[in-house]
Structure 1
Amino acid sequence: MTLLPILLVAVVLVFAIVRPRGLPEIVIAGPAAVVVLLTGVVTLDEAREELTSMAPTVVFLVAVLVLAHAADALGVFRWVSQILQQKSLADPHRLLIYVFGAAALTTAVLSLDATVVLLTPAVIAAARSIGASPRPHSYASAHLSNSASTLLPVSNLTNLIAFAATGLTFLHFTALMALPWVVTIAVEYLIFRLFFRSKLVRSENTEPPASETSSPAPSLPLAVIGLTLVGFAVSGFFGIEPAWIAVVGASVLGAIALARHRTTAAKMLYAADLWFCAFVLVLGIIVAGVANGPVGEWIAQILPGDTSYGSLLFVAVVAALASNLVNNLPATLLMIAALGTGAPPGLVLAMLIGVNLGPNLTYVGSLATMLWRRVATSAGAPPTLATFTLLGVITTPLTLLAAVSALWLVI
């Protein structure tokens, strides 16, 4: 029975990578969860506890996907694409700078799902409009959806899961993670400039983009998004889960989009990607079989309990490796259980750096990367495994080292 949950996790993740015939991940994850329950690897009580703990996270995911869809329907990301084109001055290098800024801010404020689902097509369109290869800019969206998601408790589902374990307030969490966030983005940018230097050129046969009249900023949608972010910041003072703030924001912006006939209820439901959300829940049950077994016990034994530089780096590396083995959401649950209650906040934050930056190494490292593959392919710029892996091998160790060093300096 010890090997069964490990094998099931492997099968589910391989299926998630390949996605034969475009089938959703739940097609294999559902039966795998039934197997772990029928064999007693995970009890019904453990499964119920897992679903209960993951429910707010999944509610948040649904709300943010709907919020991002409504923002897109109301022209927010079309406006962003226009700004990127204008500010780039038809220079691919300059466009990359603005893409990094847009991706970092979108990830931090609207969460990584908005970056991969909605900013990626805007970035690809902006690159093509100036006759540049969309590849560097598309990969930047993917990487920053992970590595720029450390700033706010609401920037990533992993942050939401671990936030309570830190014992920190929203603002204190943000203050501690600000320097690691900035350092990580800077290191990523320098590597991208070197790695894609041959791609950051315009096609010789491409005419300069025609100047277009600037469309006004979608002020009302931007205001709703801003108020939603404020709601996240103050929710902790009132004991309100960030997920419910996201639900309110999504409801308001969705109602505006519906009233203006910019979308339909069916499109909003499709944007929620309920099959994918079900996969998130089911995956937690499958991985619980690993967390509750010898593997989880072994990880708990090897993790340190102090916040020395070596300990922070070790926890981040273990978390990064775990995220690439079982995906970053289950890895977060596994690591929190292994660290135990009362773990120093610094260790929990180091773990978050690992599970957020580590997924840039492989396709299965994060749910965001899986979504990005679909979106980029649909936008006509399919990623390649070789490029993604090579870029990840270079960036992941360096960003982990830089971010942990910054965290150590802060705490």
Structure 2
Amino acid sequence: MRAAALICAGVVSAASLCTPQGRVFLSVERDLTRKIPLALSVAGDDRDAMGRLAGVIRQDLAFSGWFAPTVVPRQPQKFPSETEIVLAVTQAGAALEVSAYSPADTNALYSRTYPWPASDLRAAAHRIADDAVAALTGRPGIACTRIAFTMKQETLRIGVVDYDGYGETTVAAPPGDCLSPSWFFGKDALVFVCAQGGASSVMTVELRTGTLRRLYAGAAVCGRPAVNPKWPELAVPLGFSGNPDIYRLGREGKELLRLTISPVIDSSPCFSPDGERIAFVSDRSGSPQVYVMRRDGRDVRRVSFGVPHASSPAWSPDGEVLAYAVRRRGGSGIFVRNMSSGAVRELAPDEVWLEEPSWAPDSRHLVCTAVREFRRNLCVVDSFTGERRMLLPDGERFSAAWSP
């Protein structure tokens, strides 16, 4: 876990990549842009299933950003010379036995058993990959996560897709435009804005059942609702008359409390991981900038400087970094601010237009809206290396939210 405190610097110096229980597997001085060479061996009676399992695990490990995985034959005579870790997956009757070890020392770094055959092969592969990432790095995996977003059809709809772009679905929704989703206290429900006939409201949907509920209606909803990760409440930009302010709303849609009182626009709230602070956007300084306040509205301070226009703040789950979009000449980019040191840097400065960042649970990856050839679609960015991958190919999608 020690590595987590050093992530924002981009280098782990004498860092320990370890299990959550603290057992050290790798003690290295490592530039975090360098990936750990890993040999993946998958063996079992059903070669077709084992091949598909290996393909998903390999991709998950590569997408984690920590590893450079290569699939190798079971028990090869010799591993590739650069191999630092071997991950072996073996079918043993009604189970999959998974272990990791160093080629120089065959004592298991960790081992785990999973039921087999699996009802969902992809889900089983994702779980194996996430457990491997957590055991070997001390950081959470992201293979079992999903991403919600707004999609443009005849009206605006809400979509959900696996983190790797697989299994896109459209969420049940009422008539009208549905947009700006957030995950609603876990992975099983969403909260979003519904606009119809000149009125707007905050609604929730249970993803398994499609059950819809109107959480709040009473003022114009002027942006994405933010969910507090620690307290049963949301922060919502509402406009009762004129410019919107930030309000705190109870989980059941009651207990409305005004947090900002300003003649200007206050919007885009985002809670800190400890639930005690809210980042938001305000043009009280003359142009939109990012500010932070306590969850009761006190102690407001500005945190974005030297840029003409900042928007869409997103707090990393480890609390170390605040990301936000900055309008710059010819486009928009994602900037990250270390909340301890105040250091600011731009991610992927060669990308013409990135906006609306949302963090993955690993505090390493973000999903953003990328504008290319006048169309919006979703792009995943590795904040350590700057590497990017488009999440989905065709269509127009934006305003994404990564699940916990």
Band of TM-score, shorter chain: under 0.3
Structure of higher CA gyration radius: 2
User: TM (normalized to structure 1)?
Assistant: 0.25
